[in-house]
Amino acid sequence: MLRLFRGNLRRYSTVTGPNIVKTVSELRKWRIEQLKQSRTVGLVPTMGALHQGHLNLVSQSLRENDVTVVSIFVNPSQFAPTEDLNTYPRTLDKDLEKLSQISNPESDLTVFLPSVQEMYPSGITLDVNEQTGAFVEVKGLSNQLEGAIRPQFFRGVATVVTKLFNVVTPERAYFGQKDAQQSVVVKRLARDLLLPTEVVVAPTAREPSGLAMSSRNDYLSPEVRQKAGIFYEALSAAHKLYKDRNAETPRNDILDAVYATLNPLTKPNDDFSIEIEYIALSDKHSLKEVDSVEPGSGAILSGAIKVPNKNGGKTRIIDNIFFD
């Protein structure tokens, strides 16, 4: 069922769309009503600036649950003081319009728009050493790969996901494969904290160039978005090498296939050049580096590169391919 927008967003009062909830107490009251009616709840956590990948997750949740909650919250605890919290894309009007377009009469859609004070009642600063209050860490999965580049990131993710799971208590929560390490961390979080939520990981949505969809792609010019598809091309070349062999493949052979595509673009070039931060081949459960991959054993080939953005700086792109 579609409902009228409520609360302080009065300019939307004449159009139909998702139910909007802005406080934890209101959402908990709403959740009690769903329990009374034995309705299953799906959760899609987002930081807004919604793209097709987010919408795919929402559509899947709408199909698989009686009601769906989409949270839109730019989580400060996963940003370092030097990162882009203040400039992170915020497009609430467009986000709500997109969500209205994919709603359907058979599934209620609620948007949770909490303030920072709602989510961090003890306050929050970006300097981890100055933070006070309760935070969540998933040991053993948070310090490698993306965690080595952004050491505060998964502490912030684990904390905000725990808060959202506690408030929404969803039967299922939906995440994208693009953030592969995040999915592994959240699955371990739910398992180890005995949270009754199934973590569902959906395939990465891609632009026509192959570039993984991301809210930060808005930082890139159309030309760079097209050329940045080379990252997925490089990962795919390594995956093809492994599939063609159909046998145990050494780690170095797989990584060499990636670098063979990317290395020529690391040279300074006024047209387009990249910076490689890391390329890794990891176990899909422990995230430990593996020496080789055998058919059926499973691994994640992942990495991060930097590409030129519209402001004359660099924007990080992450991507991965699962080896089965």
Residue 273 and residue 163 share a domain: no
Does one domain contain both 304 and 225?
yes
Q: Measured between alpha carbons, how far is residue 188 from residues 31, 142, 207, 302 in Å?
A: 25, 11, 30, 19
User: Is 1 inside a domain boundary?
Assistant: no
105, part of any domain: yes
Question: Cβ(276)–Cβ(305) under 8 Å?
Answer: yes
Distance of CA 271 to the CA centre of its chain: 30
Residue 5 lies in a domain: no
How many domains does one find in the chain? 2
- Domain residue limits at 319: 215-323
In a domain, 29, yes or no: yes
| The pLDDT of residue 231 | 98
Quote the CA–CA distance of 255 and 259 in Å, as a whole number. Answer: 6
Instruction: Kindly list the catalytic residues.
Output: 54
Q: What is the mean pLDDT of residues 12-38?
A: 85
Name the 3-class secondary structure at 106: coil
Q: Is residue 147 part of a domain?
A: yes
* Pair (113, 25) in one structural domain: yes
Q: Which residues contact 246 (CB under 8 A, 6 or more apart)?
A: 295
CA distance 87 to 103: 29
Q: Quick count: other Cβ atoms within 10 Å of Cβ 304?
A: 20
3-state SS, residue 50: coil
Token output for 258: 């990636």
Is the same domain home to 283 and 193? Answer: no
Q: How would residue 298 be classed by pLDDT, with cut points 50, 70 and 90?
A: confident
In a domain, 13, yes or no: no
- For 115-144, write each residue's pLDDT tens digit: 999 999 999 999 999 999 999 999 999 999
CATH code of the domain covering residue 59: 3.40.50.620
What's residue 275's pLDDT? Answer: 97
Based on the fold, state whether residues 82 and 37 are members of the same structural domain: yes
First to last CA, the chain: 40
Of 171, 202, 233, which closes a domain?
202
Query: The domain that contains 238 carries what CATH number?
Result: 3.30.1300.10
Q: What is the mean pLDDT of the chain?
A: 93
Residues 303 and 219 in one domain: yes
Distances (CA, A) of 281 to 228, 266, 322: 21, 21, 10
Last residue of a domain, one of 202, 225, 245: 202
137, 44: one domain: yes
Q: What number is the average pLDDT over the span 4-31?
A: 68
Q: For 97-123, what is the mean pLDDT?
A: 89
27 is a domain residue: yes
Does the residue 290 lie in any domain? yes
Does one domain contain both 193 and 244? Answer: no
Pair 308, 274 in one domain:
yes
Q: In this predicted structure, what is the pLDDT of residue 137?
A: 97
Indicate whether 196 and 263 sit together in one domain: no
Are 162 and 271 found together in one domain? Answer: no
Mark which of 202, 230, 259 sits at the end of a domain: 202
Say how far apart CA 272 and CA 263 lie, in whole Å: 13
**167 and 250 in a common domain:** no
Tens digit of each residue's pLDDT (9 = 90 or more) over 32-65: 999 999 999 999 999 999 999 999 999 999 999 9
